[in-house]
Structure 1
Amino acid sequence: MDRLRLWMDNVRSFLGSSYFDGHHKKKVHIVQLLLVVLMIILSGTRVAVKPKGIPTTRADTIGIVMGIKTFVVITYQLVTTHVQRYKKWASLKAYSVLNFMEILFWFVVIIVTFMGISTFCQGASCGLSWIIVLLAVALICIETGLECVASTRAQYTRRRYPAVPDSATTQSISSPAAVHRNVTGASGPVPSFGQYVRVALEIVIIYLMVMTAHRNLWQGLSDEVRDSRLGVYSATLTALEGPSSDASALLLSSAPRDSGYQDLYPSAAHASILWQSFLQNVNPLSKVIHAPTMQSYIIEAGRGPATLDRPTVALLFAIYTAAVMSMSDVECQNNFGKPQKTLLSSYLFATQQALQVAELMRTPSFMLLQAFTLYIIAARHLCNPQNTWLLSGTAVRMGQLLGLHQNPPRGDLSIFEIQMHRRLWWQILLIDGRGAQLAGSQSTQQFSNAADFWLPGNFNDADLGPDMLEEPAVHNGPTEVIFCLLRYELGRFLSTAAPILYSREMSLEEKDRLINEYEDRIESKYLRYCDMASPLHLVASGGARSALCKMRLMAHHPSQYACGTSIPESEHDMLFFNSLKMVEYDVLGKSIRSLDSFGWHTDVFFQLDAFVFMLIELRRQKLGPDVEKAWRLIDDVFRHHPTLSGEGSSELSLEVSKLVLKAWKTREASLVETGIVPVQKPPIITQLRSRLRADSEYDFILDKTSEAAKQQFTNVDMDASMMVDWDFWDNFLQGDGVLQSQDFMNST
């Protein structure tokens, strides 16, 4: 105990030392400014000296951005402390919060710079990166001192204003300065430094929980990869202009009753077009509304939205927003005379306003939750993953508040309400589960309990109605809800099976048995009835079979083998076959014209993981029909997702290009070895080499000449080389690559 007291006394003495003396703040700020200016200069120099062909990433520019931000923060503190006319905006609380955030931000600079060093570190650029890390450490130390100075002096009690002084107190308040001291020096306990440290640690822990991804190939994509993948898919993912660009504003602001959002309600002709587009494009893949019931509201709203109550208006706006999201730019121009981006911006804003006027956050109802869910579906392509998860988490809480999760259902619900509750609840679960993974969490508690929730019945909308008194007979074959039911079945299965499929303790035979049993179940229940002439059946069947392939890749992931263990040839063949099938399903979904109405769904569900699997395995698979098909599919993938070829100059496009060119070098060497000359290059190879500007750079990026590729055909060498690729992509897709700012959503 004596040693503990002595240690505590030393800590108190240190905290009371001149390092934390507020009188030195001005000098410290000046030193801080010099370091920040040096940081900006060195970061700019690092960008300038980076070799050609290596794209500029967030790791290169983060020092400049953070430096400018810190410059603004320091300027605010200096001006409000030392310039008389601006002192009224001084706040120790604000200083404390800003300094604490500065510590976090410069800590992020260190992490991101280290990631950049691990990805590329050569010459002067590498040396500058290490200097930037040291400068960031110095800035963190300075900010820590400033944080302690501000936090130990800031009052956390509410500011108390003095009463009108009487004669007894007038003498003690002899000047305006005295009044100011009396106002700002309100009584109340000052929190200890330990309390601030404890709160800070809790904030850091929460931040790390959100940002740390689950360690496997399928979850927790890094921000950079998400940003790169986001650009692969659709122009609709471009940041929107106007007030609707921040979807999370719905939770943090309020709309006046006369906000004018109803002026954005479409004309009867336009409303009819949007309603039909929703029924064709969005409703089959979401099923959160009952179309026959909504039809009557659409007709009534033709006389003007003022005739309807606020929740109904909000739901109609959400339907129209989802419809616009699903339409192409050409369709929007032809039908409405406006670009799709402009229309989507307007309708997202109108839906936000309608939900706020209907008091979504104060008086949630089933209809408002339907509108909110459709709003998330339309806006999630434009939100960062954290905002999407916040929105979907709010939807989960509202669903629980309304009792959507209860099994058995409440006794006061009709048969119709029970079915609609289950449809909506499962759609919310899927959105929240995917949002959690993209935000960096392994799963959500609600989704992990998915096996406890009852699935909606296999009914068409025509089988259901608000006035029905008994439940209709369940269909044995596919219905309008086949796509949703297959996803819900998959979600419920994975809620219990995923830990087994990822486990290294479970044998491959047991994993395969589990997957085969699930495949037999959905085959007999749904897939054998599918009519491939129906676009809905086609996308449902393709999605289900792609999910089965993905489960097998999960179960047979190469990471389950100990370091140095040779992977059996049969495992290589299985990985190649299943990844090939998944890429083929994606290309089919983009190539079949009848599936264009579901393009909004397939655009953002591209299976990059399977594409990476296939490219890695192509370095081993030399010749054969499947190899020929794989190279045709590679051309198709780059045609449908052009950003992958490097149009965005992103880290992802560079790494994918490197992987494709590595695979082609191996194939080229094998063709020469078997006497197949001259070798005819696929168009994408010529395109990628051209983008890398010169064969010399191409060879540099691929780690030397094609002769090296010709030497790699022993099993041991090839296994070792491929395991390097597996490890790199496993880390890169988890977030060990360079961070960027957006996300890309993968399918379940």
Structure 2
Amino acid sequence: MSETTPGTGPSQPVPIAPAPASKASMDSPEEHMSYACVTCTKRKVKCDKLLPVCSTCRRGKLTCEYNEGPAPRKRKRKPVAGPDADVYERLERAEALLRENNLLPETEGASKSSGPPSVSASLSTPFYTSKSFLDPPNPGKLVEERGKTRYIYSNLWQNLGEHNFHPSSDEEDDDPQESHESATLQPTPAADPFSAAFLAFGSSATNLLSLHPSYEVAMELWKVYVEQIDPLVKLIHVPSAVTTLRRGAANPSTVSKATEALLFALYHFSVTVMDPEECQKRLGMPKSKLTATYYDALRQALVNANFLRTTDIMVLQAYLLFLLSVRNTCDPHTFWICTGIAVRLAQRMGLHRDGEDQGLKPFVVQMRRRVFWQILPLDGLAGQLCGTGMSVAPDSFNTKQPTNINDSDMWPDMTEPPQARIGATELIFCLARTEFGRFLQRRNNPPVPFLTGLSERVEDELVADWERQLDELETEMETKYLRFCDFADPLHNLVGLMARTAANSGRLRIRLSQAKKTPNLPDEERKDLWILAEKIIDYDIAAQQNYNLKRFFWHLQAFFQWDALIWILNEIWRDPAGHQDDEIWDKIEKVFVNHPHMTTQRRALHMALGELTLRSWDAYRTTQLSLGKSLQMEPAFIQVLRSFVTKPGSSRSSSVVVPQQNYNPFQGGQDSLSDMGSFNMIDAAWFVNDMAPGVNGMTGDVNQNPADWWGFLDLLNRDPNAVPVS
């Protein structure tokens, strides 16, 4: 029978002494505890309660431990007659449960334990302190073996003893070094049928040798990855990966299943980010064909590697690259489930616990940090799209940020931690993104003014506090990163644009929460909101029209700040006479040109935005006529929008969405990420979307009041399927 390890529960067993006892201890005067030891209690045998070791444990050579004695019986409350009696009973039971789990502090007059002083002192520390979740007395154990890690935070597993800890114990049938000695494509039963079923494959493992690209194509795809993808994700160590890739591309039959999954993840992602023309020019093959080939190969490679039960960080890296490559086309609800799997895999590997505290090698520590801090924004984005928020609580991890270094500053065999550089490094984008995560982690909650039931004075104070902290964050970003940027460098240029957009987006959301609840908003505040929203649109236009950022368009296309555009359009509709500047319509046109999916993908949000744009434009033109101004030709994007919103089949009255045959959630759906994935331009997704109270009973027909559009947007933020489009 397994024994309870000290420090693993609210009532921590205290080791008195290992059995057998020494002769000296047996000659000492006998002391007795007032209750039986843990071992005898579990075995349901008689205990003589001797200290330091009871006779039963001494004879059986067992570890003898004593738990805290039963608490003194409390005086019962006098029975309460009448309808309140049941309430008091339930309250008493609830308090008892809270005390048992150390969630209710004891009163000053609470009785102390009757055990010896050493026992009482050991038991005086609660299981969780009120300071932080990050410092539990027993933070779990990280086990490393053959490059794999497994995090153990379970009484059951820890009671089995360290000799039973094996990171790969659930993968015994998967030899990580298994090569493709047989070139046959004959399917064999998959070691993990759930992995196969999850990725829409049959329950078979398939040899993928024939799907590997030639050495020349593989190296060309690697160049694309290094130029266009790696600067924004930094999931792999480039100097180490290039050696692995060359070996795998030259002789695919020698690579492990984990390596093969990573290779196909690199190939698939690289093809995904290229334009069709670029793909044809560089690789000599159509993008559509290569995308389909590597998409299927990557999914099968993940199945072959048993990704759902892996403890190999290389498989997790491959899975994350897969998620990043499909985030613009994957159904948002499916994507949320998929990112949840990544979170679970990371927790199983212990990535939520900083490797430095676990005694891991410096190189491993850095790579684990990079992977974990890539999962956080991905999880935040997915939760944002589904209205669930992040599944990783801010106080549930203590993994530090990656160190500000270049890939050349670390290598697998290094023995000392790398020294952080001062200035811009290859990690500048990823580190700048993590600053926003750390900002909300320090706050530990969303902006409080969006909670209900607060007085106007308290709300104003909280808004001012958030704005002040956003100012401090912007100053910190300037000090740590932006002042070192060389804006001739495309990556540095992107960092500057994204950082300023994120800070301003946070301000806009906070101020809009107040504006939505103030019917008669002062003109000065409206003007300030207009300026802020227009600035955010300017940042988007600057990023989309910067040719040097073309290599990162795959990232930019997924993110757009809807709030800014909707506020501008609402203001024009509300007061067209006060907004007769043609320049703003030039900017609105550029937004639609830069984001063509707004007029091609028939999604609920796109249809609603199109209708709002047309109403604002018509109000603007009508006012021009009334003022005697000459009318110019209607812009092309307005004509496209008219055709888009009036096209037959655009009715949104149906509440049932019928899935297409052979529907694949990873290849887009009714609400793909390219539809709803753009609520924040920066993919940190730290500023959640469900900040304003929801609107119940909204339909797709919003005709009367410009303010209705805010309720409509809030509804879509919570449930993209709330207003289906047929």
TM-score by length of 1: 0.58
Q: Distance between the aligned counterparts of 2:272 and 2:302, measured in 1?
A: 18
Alpha carbons of structure 1 residues 640 and 421: separation in structure 2 relative to 1, 3 Å: same
Asked if residue 515 in structure 1 is aligned to residue 462 in structure 2, the reply is no
Asked if residue 356 in structure 1 is aligned to residue 300 in structure 2, the reply is no
Q: Distance between the aligned counterparts of 2:319 and 2:646, measured in 1?
A: 48
Match for residue 38 of structure 1? none
Q: Distance between the aligned counterparts of 1:418 and 1:621, measured in 2?
A: 56
Q: Distance between the aligned counterparts of 1:736 and 1:727, measured in 2?
A: 13
Asked if residue 261 in structure 1 is aligned to residue 208 in structure 2, the reply is yes
Match 1:659 to one of 584, 608, 612: 612
Alpha carbons of structure 1 residues 435 and 739: separation in structure 2 relative to 1, 3 Å: same
Alpha carbons of structure 1 residues 625 and 652: separation in structure 2 relative to 1, 3 Å: closer
Asked if residue 464 in structure 1 is aligned to residue 448 in structure 2, the reply is no
1:599-678 map, 5 Å: 599-619=553-573, 627-645=581-599, 647-648=600-601, 650-672=603-625, 675-678=628-631
Contact 1:587 1:636 in 2 (8 A): yes
Q: Distance between the aligned counterparts of 2:195 and 2:334, measured in 1?
A: 8
Alpha carbons of structure 1 residues 653 and 331: separation in structure 2 relative to 1, 3 Å: same
1:580-599 map, 5 Å: 580-599=534-553
SS in 2 for 1:604: coil
Match for residue 44 of structure 2? none
Q: Distance between the aligned counterparts of 1:272 and 1:600, measured in 2?
A: 21
Deviation at 1:288, TM superposition (A): 0.6
Contact 2:353 2:398 in 1 (8 A): no
Q: Distance between the aligned counterparts of 1:337 and 1:741, measured in 2?
A: 38
Question: CA offsets, 1:464-521, max 9 Å, x none?
Answer: 1112222333222221111111111112213426333635643232222121111111
Deviation at 1:381, TM superposition (A): 2.7
Question: Aligned pairs, how many?
Answer: 469
Q: Distance between the aligned counterparts of 1:355 and 1:687, measured in 2?
A: 42
Deviation at 1:277, TM superposition (A): 0.3
Contact 2:342 2:375 in 1 (8 A): yes
Alpha carbons of structure 1 residues 407 and 736: separation in structure 2 relative to 1, 3 Å: closer
Contact 1:531 1:538 in 2 (8 A): yes
Question: CA offsets, 1:105-126, max 9 Å, x none?
Answer: xxxxxxxxxxxxxxxxxxxxxx
Q: Distance between the aligned counterparts of 1:723 and 1:379, measured in 2?
A: 34
1:105-120 map, 5 Å: none
Contact 1:247 1:379 in 2 (8 A): no
Q: Distance between the aligned counterparts of 1:654 and 1:509, measured in 2?
A: 35
Contact 1:380 1:388 in 2 (8 A): yes
Match for residue 724 of structure 1? 708
Match for residue 524 of structure 2? 570
Match for residue 454 of structure 1? 400
Deviation at 1:450, TM superposition (A): 7.0
Asked if residue 429 in structure 1 is aligned to residue 376 in structure 2, the reply is yes
1:533-544 map, 5 Å: 533-544=488-499
Deviation at 1:415, TM superposition (A): 1.1
1:353-502 map, 5 Å: 353-407=300-354, 409-444=356-391, 446-449=392-395, 452-495=398-441, 496=443, 498-500=446-448, 502=450
Contact 1:616 1:726 in 2 (8 A): no
Question: CA offsets, 1:403-451, max 9 Å, x none?
Answer: 111136344411111111000001012112211222331321x143378
Contact 1:250 1:352 in 2 (8 A): no
Q: Distance between the aligned counterparts of 2:580 and 2:358, measured in 1?
A: 57
Match for residue 550 of structure 1? 505
SS in 1 for 2:307: coil
CA RMSD in angstroms comes to 3.1
Alpha carbons of structure 1 residues 442 and 483: separation in structure 2 relative to 1, 3 Å: same
Alpha carbons of structure 1 residues 635 and 475: separation in structure 2 relative to 1, 3 Å: same
Contact 1:575 1:617 in 2 (8 A): no
Contact 1:318 1:374 in 2 (8 A): yes
Give the residue type in structure 2 aligned to 1:631.
Answer: W
Q: Distance between the aligned counterparts of 1:612 and 1:248, measured in 2?
A: 43
Match for residue 318 of structure 1? 265
Alpha carbons of structure 1 residues 590 and 356: separation in structure 2 relative to 1, 3 Å: same
1:47-66 map, 5 Å: none
Question: CA offsets, 1:163-185, max 9 Å, x none?
Answer: xxxxxxxxxxxxxxxxxxxxxxx
Contact 2:265 2:319 in 1 (8 A): yes
Contact 1:251 1:361 in 2 (8 A): no
Q: Distance between the aligned counterparts of 1:289 and 1:567, measured in 2?
A: 50
Give the residue type in structure 2 aligned to 1:633.
Answer: K
Which runs of 5 or more residues in structure 2 are unaligned? 1-193, 648-703
Which runs of 5 or more residues in structure 1 are unaligned? 1-245, 695-719, 743-748
Alpha carbons of structure 1 residues 560 and 451: separation in structure 2 relative to 1, 3 Å: farther
Q: Distance between the aligned counterparts of 1:385 and 1:686, measured in 2?
A: 30
TM-score by length of 2: 0.60
Contact 2:386 2:717 in 1 (8 A): no
Alpha carbons of structure 1 residues 725 and 337: separation in structure 2 relative to 1, 3 Å: same
Give the residue type in structure 2 aligned to 1:514.
Answer: Q
Contact 1:333 1:340 in 2 (8 A): yes
Deviation at 1:534, TM superposition (A): 0.9
Give the residue type in structure 1 aligned to 2:607.
Answer: L
Match for residue 143 of structure 2? none
Give the residue type in structure 2 aligned to 1:529.
Answer: F
Contact 1:422 1:454 in 2 (8 A): yes
Deviation at 1:336, TM superposition (A): 3.1
Give the residue type in structure 1 aligned to 2:486.
Answer: D
SS in 2 for 1:556: helix
Contact 2:505 2:561 in 1 (8 A): no
1:286-365 map, 5 Å: 286-365=233-312
With a CA cutoff of 8 Å and minimum separation of 6, indicate the structure with the bigger relative contact order.
Answer: 1
Alpha carbons of structure 1 residues 351 and 457: separation in structure 2 relative to 1, 3 Å: same
Alpha carbons of structure 1 residues 458 and 330: separation in structure 2 relative to 1, 3 Å: same
Alpha carbons of structure 1 residues 372 and 689: separation in structure 2 relative to 1, 3 Å: closer
Q: Distance between the aligned counterparts of 2:587 and 2:246, measured in 1?
A: 46
Q: Distance between the aligned counterparts of 1:524 and 1:367, measured in 2?
A: 34
Contact 1:618 1:627 in 2 (8 A): no
Contact 1:535 1:594 in 2 (8 A): yes
Contact 1:292 1:461 in 2 (8 A): yes
Going by fraction, where is helix more abundant, 1 or 2?
1
Q: Distance between the aligned counterparts of 1:358 and 1:407, measured in 2?
A: 26
**Percent identity between the aligned chains?**
32
Contact 1:672 1:679 in 2 (8 A): no
Question: CA offsets, 1:69-90, max 9 Å, x none?
Answer: xxxxxxxxxxxxxxxxxxxxxx
Deviation at 1:250, TM superposition (A): 4.5
SS in 2 for 1:619: helix
Q: Which moved more, 1:649-658 or 1:629-638?
A: 649-658
